[in-house]
Amino acid sequence: MQPPRLAAENERMQKMNGYPEVRLRRMRRTAAIRDMFAMPTPGPEKFIWPVFVAPGSGRREAIASMPDQFRYSADELVKALAPVVAQGVKSVLLFGVPDAQGEGKDECGTSAADPHGVVQRAIPVLRAAYPDLVIFTDVCLCAYTSHGHCGPRDPDGDVDNDAACEMLARVAVSHARAGADGVAPSAMMDGQVAAIRHALDEEGFTKTLLVSYSTKFASQMYGPFRDAEGSAPGHGDRQGYQASARDPRTALRESVLDEAEGADALMVKPALFYLDMIREVSQRTLLPVMAYNVSGEYSMIHAAAAAGYCDLYATARESLDAIFRAGATQVISYWAPFYSRIYHMG
């Protein structure tokens, strides 16, 4: 039999299952208390800036659909990176923009593997200016094909999966040879990770990271990006090879297979509409899980803030917190250059 005092205490504790004894506002009464119990603020080293690099010099072209984002020639990108690196952001993801609409493009996207291509020439320029910068490159063909799809087409007009893998491997090797720390295939071709890993290793690039766009959905959120890079398909769409938002099981299999093929990190793209998928992938792997906070997500917040519906940087922080909370270990985001404004607003 319990002593009377212990019995009374147990009875009291059993009753403390809600208000007025339980007052959760105690946990958020002051900013200092809120910060004490909040999840850690992601450091700038967790951010990767996706940036568009164009040929030539002295080019800094505003992208109308993506406020505060630009197409840079390599020399201008060196300048633009200075304040970004000063904030502690350590990584970029390069996207090449061909010379002009139609120029340098063909049915197979062969110019994407040109050793004198825009990405291949930009890498050593950035490396010389920022030796410690982690340089990833997007490996895809859509900006370099005459039809805007992510690989050569077969006689029926569909993307030829195996021919695309062969071409993607050539592109990845050309980026590694130029000095990229990591390559990131985004074409969503079956077997692309294995093909690229094999080609890299065969050429001696065993240290090159392979970050797979492993669960990449066919999404309406890519519009501003396609405007920036001139990579919209000339006909049809990419639903035949990008993952379906209504088929999460197959989307998850994409990441499982890419891990088995040798990916060093996985990725979910887009991020905000697919937080559940970030969580699912992160629970099924020990690999890093990156999330791509894509152009449409970025531009939507800008549009809402411009209309007076929200505060720009406070909303950006809320969206990024959601992505990390879902399980992302790194975030590829156009917000990266504004890290200090977003996370140190006072």
| Residue 8, both tokens | 């009374």
- In the residue annotation, 90 being an active-site residue is answered as no
First to last CA, the chain: 56
Among candidate residues 46, 90, 105, 216, the one labeled active-site is 216
| Residue 338, both tokens | 């504004």
Residue type, 177: R
Helix-strand-coil split of the chain, %, nearest 5 = 45, 15, 40
Q: Is 265 helix (H, G, I), strand (E, B) or coil?
A: strand
Please give the Cα distance from 305 to 308 (Å, whole number): 5
Strands (E), 43-89: 47-54, 60-62, 70-73
DSSP letter at 148?
A: -
Residue type, 265: A
Please give the Cα distance from 284 to 332 (Å, whole number): 21
Give Cβ neighbours of residue 90 (< 8 Å, ≥ 6 apart): 44, 45, 132, 133, 134
| Residue 48, both tokens | 């990767």
How distant is the alpha carbon of residue 177 from its chain centre?
Answer: 23
- In the residue annotation, 216 being an active-site residue is answered as yes
Angle, nearest 10°, between helix axes 275-283 and 248-261? 40
Q: Tokens 């079956």, residue? A: 190
Active site residues per annotation:
216, 269
